């Protein structure tokens, strides 16, 4: 049953939504939202572009962008071929296109009426536009820029503010906003003014939407985390926009609040999913890159990275524990499951960027972030278990008490997990 506080929160949400819709329909909103590109609080793209030119990454991005030009999109474990015209509100597998009702009236969880909402939303995250922007900067091929412009114009026409399937989830709005931020950072200066102006207006509307529709009650987990990341980023990176200071402040406050709420003392994410450990850490790291939130925040990130490294072990392979919905914050074109990914560059680059840090090592007696396990064991060559010595063992056991997971890194010994009273065994 909903509390009075929740009812009051939701009423304020709907009043704010209807007011912003009326403003968008009748006045169009702020007259000028121009912002220099590249964005000053993100890393300058030019040095990175110069280092990557001619690299395997360059070749991969250009090849993938070539596929996107043909409207072949890598989504989850398949490739979606939309044909010449992209239907942005269509589940191509089910053959269902939804209409343009006010977003609260779209039954997005009813597969019989709208199809698979995740299949629709994934394309509308626009992470493929970031690939096009990267390929444009690396190769100089203007057809990649022209494809970005064409798809933006088409999407804006097909998805009016607060109407239709692609406004029903605040997290999806947040993901699209993050993609558009990177597109603007990499290629905004090259966009035609007639396209850049409505694009920035739509990005501003994404910020308004997030400000009004945070998942404080509906899904206060990684959904709220992703929304807060995007809201803060929009406020911080576009400081001249109306409401930007409030977005930055409230987004940053939510990130700190959720860091305390969602991350346990051993560095684990409270959903106890290996995939969500990566997902949440990527979000916290992106926020850290913009906000510079301080030493304690950094220590928490080190704890999360250390926990992730303990799960992965020496093989650098993430076990498939818990839910994996297939989405990515970084590297969205890597379509394997979390267990297929041999490395997680955002985590590793964060760790190795620390002054004086070396390779991440997980010791049996003390884990990164100051963990002090009450008991540490290691498997000897004979297979018997013995107490670990104070030094880091080359074949350690990482015993992470708050999740009940014990990672045995010796190859013949499996990983044993005990969570919520249920024992499982995985290799």
> What are 349-381's pLDDT values in tens digits?
333 333 333 333 322 223 333 333 332 223 223
pLDDT at 99: 96
32-221, CATH topology level: Glycosyltransferase (1.50.10)
Transcribe 182-238 into DSSP letters: HHHHHHGGGS-HHHHHHHHHHHHHHHHHHHH---TTT-TTHHHHHHHHHHHHHHHHS
Which backbone phi and psi does 94 adopt, to 5 degrees?
A: -90, -15
pLDDT greater at residue 413 or residue 20: 20
- The mean predicted confidence, pLDDT, of the chain is 81
The answer to whether residues 251 and 211 touch, using CB atoms and an 8 Å cutoff, is no
Measured in whole angstroms, the distance separating CA 160 from the mean position of its chain's CA atoms is 24
Q: What is the pLDDT of residue 366?
A: 32
Structural domain boundaries in the chain: 32-221
Q: Which among 278, 212, 199 is positioned nearest to 33, based on CA atoms?
A: 199
Residue 11 Rama label (left phi>0; alpha psi -120 to 50; beta): alpha
The reported pTM is 0.81
CA-atom Rg of the chain in angstroms: 23
Half-sphere exposure of residue 294: CA atoms within 13 angstroms, side-chain side: 5
∠ CA(95), CA(101), CA(103), 5° rounding?
100
Rounded Cα distance between 349 and 353, Å, is 6
Q: What is the pLDDT of residues 56-71, one digit of tens each?
A: 999 999 999 999 999 9
């Amino acid at each position: 049953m909903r509390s009075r506080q929740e009812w009051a929160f939701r009423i304020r949400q709907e009043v704010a939504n209807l007011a912003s819709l009326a403003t968008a329909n009748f006045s169009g909103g702020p007259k000028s939202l121009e912002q220099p590109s590249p964005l000053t609080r993100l890393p300058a793209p030019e040095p990175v572009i110069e280092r990557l030119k001619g690299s395997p990454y360059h070749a991969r991005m250009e090849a993938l962008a070539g596929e996107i030009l043909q409207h072949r999109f890598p989504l989850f474990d398949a490739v979606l071929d939309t044909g010449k015209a992209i239907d942005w509100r269509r589940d191509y597998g089910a053959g269902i296109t939804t209409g343009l009702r006010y977003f609260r009236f779209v039954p997005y969880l009813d597969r019989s009426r709208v199809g698979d909402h995740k299949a629709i939303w994934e394309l509308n995250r626009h992470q493929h536009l970031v690939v096009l922007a990267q390929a444009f900067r690396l190769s100089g091929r203007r057809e990649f820029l022209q494809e970005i412009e064409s798809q933006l114009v088409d999407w804006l026409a097909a998805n009016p503010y607060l109407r239709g399937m692609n406004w029903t989830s605040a997290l999806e709005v947040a993901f699209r906003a993050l993609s558009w931020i990177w597109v603007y950072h990499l290629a905004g200066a090259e966009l035609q003014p007639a396209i850049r102006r409505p694009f920035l207006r739509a990005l501003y509307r994404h910020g308004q939407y997030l400000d009004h529709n945070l998942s404080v009650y509906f899904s206060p987990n990684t959904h709220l985390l992703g929304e807060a990341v995007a809201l803060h980023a929009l406020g911080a990176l576009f400081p001249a926009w109306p409401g930007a200071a409030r977005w930055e402040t409230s987004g940053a406050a939510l990130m700190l609040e959720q860091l305390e709420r969602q991350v346990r003392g051993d560095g684990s994410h409270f959903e106890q999913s290996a995939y969500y450990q990566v997902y949440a850490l990527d979000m916290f790291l992106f926020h850290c890159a913009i906000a510079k939130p301080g030493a304690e925040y950094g220590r928490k990130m080190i704890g999360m990275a250390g926990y992730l490294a303990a799960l992965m072990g020496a093989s650098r392979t993430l076990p498939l524990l818990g839910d994996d919905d297939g989405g990515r914050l970084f590297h969205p074109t890597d379509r394997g499951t979390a267990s297929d990914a041999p490395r997680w560059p955002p985590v590793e680059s964060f760790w190795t960027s620390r002054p004086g840090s070396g390779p991440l090592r997980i010791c049996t007696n003390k884990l990164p972030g100051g963990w002090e396990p009450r008991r540490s064991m290691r498997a000897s060559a004979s297979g018997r278990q013995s107490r670990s010595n104070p030094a880091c063992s080359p074949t350690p056991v990482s015993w992470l008490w708050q999740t009940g997971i014990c990672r045995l890194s010796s190859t013949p010994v499996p990983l044993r997990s005990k969570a919520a009273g249920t024992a499982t065994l995985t290799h």
